[in-house]
């Protein structure tokens, strides 16, 4: 960890900029996948030497975990905020829609979601990276459940739909939208698909919902 604010320390001063490497790492893993780019390649792209990266992040697992965590706390932060802000349900849905439908290509951002691809990866990931991904997944799902429960208690959400089901559904639709965007579906078509998915929450459809969910409980 950088200690550049304290006393000037003793040995040769550092030149490796942690933030720069981390930024390149997030971008690389986001674009090419966590298993699609090597440390060597990231070093090349960042213009730093390999031992420097190892000194800073320990090993590959450490770098991937740091990159994923940075992605979560920057790119995905708006999403977490929407869930905790306690807005009226329809307003939250609107904000959620804006976030999901953001034209990432036009903003120079990579397509897809690093968090989702990490969770879905079947390949060997380090322990720290895996745990970081799953912890965030669980937190997001909990956030969605609490958000939906609050909406239910305010009469803004169909109580016929089990909370966990709705949370899993919303989570999946968000991931789907990012996936479609990555596949090159037009923004217009993406908007149609996502809004179609959200219609399940809108109209009063007690008869049909009851019919589907009564058999469970």
Instruction: Return residues touching its own copies (CB under 8 A).
Output: 31-33, 35-36, 112, 117, 119-124, 161-162, 164-166, 168-169, 172-173, 175-176, 179-180, 182-183, 185, 188-189, 191-193, 195-197, 199-200, 202-203, 205, 207-209, 212-213, 216
**CB of 16 or CB of 141, closer to its own copies:** 141
Which stretches within the chain are classed as H helix? Answer: 18-32, 39-46, 50-57, 60-74, 77-84, 89-101, 114-120, 127-153, 163-183, 187-198, 206-213
Q: Does residue 188 belong to the site contacting DNA (CB under 7 A)?
A: no
Under a CB-based contact definition with an 8 Å cutoff, are residues 186 and 194 in contact? no
In whole angstroms, the minimum distance from the beta carbon of 140 to its own copies comes to 13
Of 210, 197, 20, 196, which is closest to residue 28 (Cα–Cα)? 20
Structure tokens at 185: 């579906």
With CB under 5 to 8 Å by kind, the binding choice for 149 among DNA, its own copies, none is none
With CB under 5 to 8 Å by kind, the binding choice for 80 among DNA, its own copies, none is none
Q: Does residue 193 belong to the site contacting DNA (CB under 7 A)?
A: no
Of 66, 64, 23, which is closest to residue 46 (Cα–Cα)? 23
Q: Give phi and psi for 109, each to the nearest 5.
A: -95, 150
In whole angstroms, the minimum distance from the beta carbon of 154 to its own copies comes to 20
With CB under 5 to 8 Å by kind, the binding choice for 97 among DNA, its own copies, none is none
With CB under 5 to 8 Å by kind, the binding choice for 8 among DNA, its own copies, none is DNA
In whole angstroms, the minimum distance from the beta carbon of 136 to DNA comes to 22
In whole angstroms, the minimum distance from the beta carbon of 62 to DNA comes to 8
**CB of 121 or CB of 156, closer to DNA:** 121
Placement of tokens 């929407």 in the chain: 82
Q: Can you tell me the distance from the alpha carbon of 171 to that of 176, in angstroms, rounded to the nearest whole number?
A: 9
Q: Can you tell me the distance from the alpha carbon of 147 to that of 142, in angstroms, rounded to the nearest whole number?
A: 8
Q: Does residue 99 belong to the site contacting DNA (CB under 7 A)?
A: no
Under a CB-based contact definition with an 8 Å cutoff, are residues 56 and 21 in contact? yes
Q: Can you tell me the distance from the alpha carbon of 92 to that of 79, in angstroms, rounded to the nearest whole number?
A: 10
Structure tokens at 26: 């997030």
Site string for DNA, 34-73 (x = CB under 7 A): ----xxxx------xxxxx-xx---xxx------------
Task: Summarize as ranges the residues that interact with DNA (CB under 7 A).
Answer: 7-16, 38-41, 48-52, 54-55, 59-61
């Amino acid at each position: 960890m950088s200690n550049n604010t304290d006393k000037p320390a003793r040995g040769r001063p550092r030149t490796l900029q942690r933030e720069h490497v981390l930024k390149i790492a997030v971008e690389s893993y986001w674009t090419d996948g966590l298993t699609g780019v090597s440390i060597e390649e990231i070093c090349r792209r960042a213009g730093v030497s390999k031992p420097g990266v190892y000194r800073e992040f320990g090993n590959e697992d450490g770098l991937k975990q740091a990159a994923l965590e940075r992605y979560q706390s920057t790119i995905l932060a708006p999403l977490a905020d929407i869930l905790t802000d306690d807005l009226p349900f329809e307003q939250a849905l609107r904000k959620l829609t804006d976030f999901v439908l953001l034209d990432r290509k036009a903003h120079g951002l990579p397509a897809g979601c690093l968090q989702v691809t990490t969770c879905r990866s079947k390949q060997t990931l380090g322990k720290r990276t895996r745990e970081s991904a799953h912890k965030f997944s669980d937190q997001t799902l909990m956030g969605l459940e609490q958000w939906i429960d609050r909406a239910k208690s305010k009469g803004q959400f169909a109580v016929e739909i089990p909370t966990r089901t709705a949370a899993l559904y919303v989570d999946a639709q968000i991931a789907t939208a990012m996936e479609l965007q990555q596949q090159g579906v037009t923004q217009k078509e993406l908007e149609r698909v996502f809004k179609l998915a959200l219609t399940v929450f809108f109209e009063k459809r007690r008869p049909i919902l009851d019919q589907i969910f009564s058999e469970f409980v």
